[in-house]
Chains A and B, each alone.
Chain A
Amino acid sequence: MNKLLSKIARVGIVTEKFKPLTDPELEKLGAEIKAVIDRRFAGSLAIRQVDAGSCNACELEIAALGNPFYDAERFGIHFVASPRHADVLLVTGPVSRHMQAALLATYEATPEPKWVVAVGTCAADGGEFGSNYASCGAVGNVLKVDAVIRGCPPTPTELIRGLLSLFAKP
């Protein structure tokens, strides 16, 4: 236990201690998105992530939003386990045909008002896979998309910037 506590004390809060390593843009974006989320979502934006056919690298970067450098929860962004608790669906991948029905069912299960954000080049335009016998291509071919965050995969900072651009709109 002592070792554990002393490790915590020595590492400290990385966003401060490792200041030179954190992305200054992230801090600025964070403050902005927090203001927007406070104003429009009473401080809490619930996201349900749906991998609809990704190569899994987009998931790695979305999951990185939870590491202590980004700690997206401090801005009020949190990932929920059920679409019924979600404001936003964050959809990755070209939509594989085998996931099309599941994606639509997830969308149906999300209460209004709701937004769909397509994450990654594949979700934006089909990417390296496009549409074919097994893939519907872009998320926009299956659902109405409210915002697109490009990148293969987008970095965590780009993800936060993308969410901000969606909600900063009047």
Chain B
Amino acid sequence: MNAVPSSNLKAQDRLASCLLSLGTAGFAALKSAGSTLGPALLCVIPSENWAGAAELAAAGDCRWAAGWADEQGGAAIVHALLEKAGDYLLLRTQLPPGCNELASQTPYFPGAARPERHARDLFGLDFLGHPDSRRWVRHQAWDERSFPLRENFPLSGHPQPLTPPDRHYAFASARGDEVNEIPVGPVHAGIIEPGHFRFLAVGETVLNLEERLGYVHKGIEKLAVGRDPESLARLAGRISGDTTVGHAWAACQAMERASGIEPPPRALWLRAIFAERERVANHLNDIGMICNDTAFAFGYYQFSRLRELWLRDNLRWFGHRLLMDRVVPGGVAADLTAEAAAAMPAAIASLKRELDELKPILDSGPIFQDRVVAAGILPESTARALGCLGYVGRASGIDWDLREQSPYAPYDRLEVHAAVRGEGDVAARLYLRYAEVYASLNLIEACLGRIDDGPIRAGWHPPAESAESLGLVEGWRGEITAYVRFDGKGRIARFYPRDPSVFNWPALEKLILGNIVPDFPLCNKSVNGSYSGQDL
């Protein structure tokens, strides 16, 4: 047996002490003494320790919050972001030049499966011990020996005039006279994003569901390279259009931390107002769509009406119905006018009144209740294993909301009490979101009451060469992470945004089991993963 080099032992010790410090007072001390990356403590470990680190972290009840690869000077670098009790630890390892093999962390964190496959398809890394060797984000637009995120791969790629459909993906199959295989998509029947679902059903009951995503992969990570901050914010605002505020905020937060720029207080209050308005708009939309999926037309019309009023106010007060391009590096691009500040409380009061009226109608609709209660149950243990986020996690008993447990400005000056439920069914996700609408309305009122006067944007100065940081924001779907690394000219060298859908999509495969195929749209809507946010 070879002796373990002493430098590895030191790294092991440091890793162990970092992991032990999470959630304790010792974390702040380690952070001030060691290297950090934004709010995270940085722990660089040798690549041989990569799986061991995951094993230790899993044993210590950490959450695997994100994972991505990078390349610098021809060497691959891999990151895994861990979280426990609101403290973040960023594991980093650099592979020796020319080496593309690293142990997989998926055996310890099932939620890492798709992010590792994503990194495999785009960087050519082999994750040894990964339970699934099939491609993920790659279909047929590039071949299996080209890796678009490598430095030597041109943005334009080498596309064929017609990219063939991805016909030979090996879906799980089952034999037996009783088993039906049902392919759905990529083009769906409704006005929604494309993706493929493969059901195995016995009669109407779902035996297995496999998601095949990646259809709207459009090269966002590659497109980010070489952009200036302004243009990266615009791109981030289009990762998932329904989360334009959330993603733009996370990207700007990362760039600002890397450059040491503090947005003025008024800008931070406005970002929170925008983010809560985005949360309200999406929750109203989905509550209405869930009503629609149970053929409860009344609910659909009422909630879509309330949402439309809300979006018109966005347009009137801030210049865009969905608030696109309102969050910019250094601050925001739309101010709160005296007129808007005066009118918003009445609009909030009226929305609350209507929600008070509508809730008992939902509660007492027997057919509606019959459809949503006990449909699509996600047990807490599954949600934890996958690292589910936002309302999907909270409806299954995971008490995690960045705004409450690890607050960033201005939430550090606001009181957030995230709603949590334990049932984990469609009804729990629906009612949790109902509660979140009220909570967001209260937060907007609090922001309006406390907003400072002053400028809405700080001047920009380019960061130091290779400056990097992390953005962490609680979007309406849950925690968003954004990693940014600059080059020497103030432009972006690497950008990786992790939408919460990355961890919520796999939950849909689990919670649908044993339900009937006709309940799939309902279960799917109650999770509402973003296709574009996961495909990038």
Contacts and interface: CB of A to CB of B under 8 A. Distances in A.
Interface in A98-131: 98-102, 104-106, 127-131
Contacts of B234: 128
A136 B217 CA distance: 11
B429 interface: no
A21 to B, nearest CB: 7
A56 B324 CA distance: 13
A6 B219 CA distance: 51
B337 interface: no
A4 B298 contact: yes
Contacts, number: 173
A57 B244 contact: yes
Interface stretch (B14-22, B23-31, B153-161, B254-262): B153-161
B304 A68 contact: yes
A60 B162 contact: no
Contacts of B189: 81-82
B148 A21 contact: no
B218 A53 contact: yes
Mostly, the A contact residues are mixed
A96 B193 contact: no
Given A8-B298, A53-B216, A59-B192, A134 B148 contact: yes
B149 to A, nearest CB: 10
Contacts of B191: 49, 51, 59, 62-63, 79
A100 to B, nearest CB: 5
B238 A98 contact: no
Given A7-B358, A67-B308, A128 B214 contact: no
Mostly, the B contact residues are loop
Given A11-B302, A97-B159, A3 B364 contact: yes
B89 interface: no
A101 B162 contact: yes
A99 B532 contact: no
B176 interface: no
A65 to B, nearest CB: 9
Interface in B282-315: 285, 298, 301-302, 304-305, 307-309, 311-312, 315
Contacts of B532: 54-56
B401 interface: no
Interface stretch (B163-171, B377-385, B416-424, B439-447): B163-171
Interface in A1-50: 1, 3-4, 7-8, 11, 14, 21, 49-50
A68 B216 contact: no
A67 B307 contact: yes
A132 B530 CA distance: 22
A106 B187 contact: yes
Interface in A123-155: 127-136, 152-153, 155
A162 interface: no
18 contacts: A4-B298, A14-B305, A55-B239, A56-B241, A61-B321, A68-B305, A79-B191, A81-B189, A97-B140, A97-B141, A98-B140, A100-B162, A101-B162, A106-B187, A132-B155, A133-B142, A133-B154, A155-B315
Interface of A: 1, 3-4, 7-8, 11, 14, 21, 49-64, 66-69, 79, 81-83, 93-94, 96-102, 104-106, 127-136, 152-153, 155
Closest CB pairs A-B (n = 6): A133-B157, A57-B241, A97-B141, A81-B189, A67-B304, A55-B241
Given A102-B165, A128-B235, 7 more contacts: A4-B365, A55-B238, A57-B322, A63-B191, A79-B191, A98-B140, A129-B220
